[in-house]
Amino acid sequence: MTDIEKAEKNYTARDIEVLSELEGVRKRPGMYIGSTNLSGLHHLVWEIIDNAVDEAVNGYGNKITVTILRDGSLQVEDEGRGIPVDIHPKAKIPAVQLIYTTLHSGGKFNSKNYQVSGGLHGVGATVTNALSELVEVTIYRDNKIYFISFHNGGQLLSPLKVIGTTNKHGTTVHFRPDPTIFPSVKFSWDTIYNRLEEKSYLLTGVHFILKDQKTGNSHDFYTEHGLREYVQSLTQNKTPLGDVIDFVDKTNPINVEVAMQWCLKDYNENILSYANDVKTGDGGTHEIGFKTSLTKTLNDWAQQNELIKPNQTIDGSDIREGLTAVISVKVPEEKLEYEGQTKGKLGTPEATSVVSNALQNFFIYYLNEHKEFAIDLIKKCQASKEAREAARKAKEAARGAKKKVVDYVISDKLASAQSKDYKNNELFIVEGDSAGGSAKTGRDRLHQAILPLRGKPLNTDSVSMEKIVSNAEFATLIQTIGAGVGADFDITESHYGKIIIMTDADTDGAHIQTLLLTFFYNFMKPLIDAGMIYIAQPPLYRVYKKSDPSKHIYCWDDKELEAAKIKIGAGYGINRYKGLGEMNANQLAETTMDKKKRVLMQVKIDDPLVVEKRIGILMGKDSQSRWNWIQENVTFNEEDSFLSEIEKETGK
């Protein structure tokens, strides 16, 4: 029998089955990690961290260290029991090899080893392995150091072996994502930093340490009072009404922990929820229990204490306006259910009543113990109701009697879209009159409206609603969008399906973008949540044939510039666009507005904690903390001080 025949014979059915499972993950990575962009790349990290977190949640180890190594690969270490290494009776391979090469082997289905686990139910390790070009697992248990490694998408490289003795216990996983799967394999310090910060709020008493070998940076996240500190960090730049209210209720197999705080001059409701330390961004049964119980409890208390008339009620949306709350439930494995495909929405039915009762019991007690606060809170809710009604009346009035005046204000600036098909209409907010003029000329008149902004809009962070609506630029913008503002904002009334911010690609333009985004975040946040806010990306360069300028290529970055020079060949010229005004109407339309050719960046909130803090620091009144943040996070280069003019290079 030849060597090849021998090798083939060795391939047991099992190996082929393992191959196909790993192959399956590599063929459709999106099914497991959502995408292969940077967010998908970091899912590999979350899976490994979640396995380490599961071990700590169950009481084994209180230190998890994440290191970005010099070569860009990543390492996660925990001080748990160490992944089991015993030979699995059926599969005839060590447990760790099973966990890293088969999809449904995590063993986390049976709750004997785990009370709660938030990961992809044990498939996380295999997914990370399948999508990595190298995975090395070092296990410290039973006074021995075990080592096993995989490469090329999860193929066994070095079978499990003992490489030393130790009195430590825990698991270390080092992995390098596969560059043939991920366009970028560059881990982001900020992304991992924010995730570990969030984990440390959810898991008190555990040190989450992040290190970067290249920069020498390191940070240790540790909280004693979890969610209370989480809410404090979310409201640090706001005007709090009362203290953070928090409680834990473990009287039920489903454990509940809530922290919440109301703030004034905040028109959003900021409710975050988690199930087994994994964010449930689409809410679910625990959030429903929280919201219904909060409304019922406050109304009952207000009635009992005769702070509202018998037939009067306080509206849930008025109660939740200005509320920052974090809800965290721990659901035993066998009760854990999700709605829909993602794990973003908790489906466990009894979580509703468990959270509802837990909140009601505590909140009634708290209100009785803090009558002053309760009265202020009810006043705040009534003020919210009045503000909402005032804003609605203003909107009705604007539509009614004073129609001409308002239309005059708008028409003076706005070049409106002819179509009434609001969903397909787009509003371009353009910096400056010259660009505004070109945009009006070059636009698709049926679906595209242009609102030129004169100068810099007002910084609206932590200013009152009155100041906003009396500011000409924002009053026009609010009327133009037509969906109200703040508490009265109703996204279904928006006159546009897309709102596109189009500014120069310079520091002034960037500043205007942040001022507009701050306004939308504070007063029309549903537009951001619905993904309706975009930033136009005008080209940076135009490379053209000097002898025949009709031959030209637009470029959006330096890589495209180099490619365009080659494509146009000898005798090329380059325009460097410093501002929209340097493009004529049809260049602007062709490159930045035409649906078929333009590049738009959609504004999304990946991490509410980051946005909340970032806006507070960058746009708030405390210039010292802004200065500190810029010192720590912004690297200025000479390019910023003078925008280098690209000379009209003669083609080489």
Active site residues: 431, 504, 506, 508
> Which member of 81, 320, 345, 395 binds ligand 28F (CB under 6 A)?
81
Residue 74 binds ligand 28F (CB under 6 A)? no
Residues 6 or more apart whose CB falls under 8 angstroms from that of 304 comprise none
> Which member of 33, 41, 44, 48 binds ligand 28F (CB under 6 A)?
48
Q: Which stretch binds ligand 28F (CB under 6 A): 37-45, 49-57, 225-233, 352-360?
A: 49-57
Shortest Cβ distance from residue 60 to ligand 28F (Å)? 7
Contact 134, 84 (CB under 8 A): no
> Which member of 19, 69, 91, 95 binds ligand 28F (CB under 6 A)?
95
Residue 83 binds ligand 28F (CB under 6 A)? yes
Residue 51 binds ligand 28F (CB under 6 A)? yes
- Percent helix, strand and coil across the chain, each to the nearest 5: 45, 20, 35
Residue 124 binds ligand 28F (CB under 6 A)? no
Residue 87 binds ligand 28F (CB under 6 A)? no
DSSP 3-state of 440: helix
> Which member of 21, 47, 55, 212 binds ligand 28F (CB under 6 A)?
55
DSSP one-letter code for 441: H
Q: Which stretch binds ligand 28F (CB under 6 A): 45-53, 377-385, 599-607, 626-634?
A: 45-53
Q: Which residue is nearest to ligand 28F (CB)?
A: 107
Q: Which is nearer to ligand 28F, 32 or 301 (CB)?
A: 32
Q: Which is nearer to ligand 28F, 98 or 234 (CB)?
A: 98
User: Per CB under 6 A, which of residues 160..199 are in contact with ligand 28F?
Assistant: 171, 173
Cβ density class 93-125: b for 16+ within 10 Å, e for less? bbbbbbbbbbbebbbbeeeeebbbbbbbbbbbb
Q: Which is nearer to ligand 28F, 36 or 171 (CB)?
A: 171
Q: Which residue has the tokens 């539509």?
A: 399
Residue 84 binds ligand 28F (CB under 6 A)? yes
Contact 395, 488 (CB under 8 A): yes
Shortest Cβ distance from residue 327 to ligand 28F (Å)? 27
Span between the terminal Cα atoms of the chain, in Å: 62
Residues in the chain: 652
What is the C-alpha to C-alpha distance for residues 336 and 122, in angstroms, rounded to an integer?
A: 14
DSSP 3-state of 60: coil
Shortest Cβ distance from residue 102 to ligand 28F (Å)? 11
Count of residues that interact with ligand 28F, criterion CB under 6 A: 16
Shortest Cβ distance from residue 565 to ligand 28F (Å)? 47
Q: What is the distance, to the nearest Å, from the Cα of residue 372 to the centroid of all Cα atoms in its chain?
A: 37
What is the C-alpha to C-alpha distance for residues 545 and 563, in angstroms, rounded to an integer?
A: 14
Residue 268 binds ligand 28F (CB under 6 A)? no
* Alpha-carbon distances of 106 from 55, 95, 159, 178, rounded to whole Å: 13, 9, 19, 23
> What is the contact surface with ligand 28F in residues (CB under 6 A)?
48, 51-52, 55, 76, 78, 80-81, 83-84, 95, 99, 107, 113, 171, 173
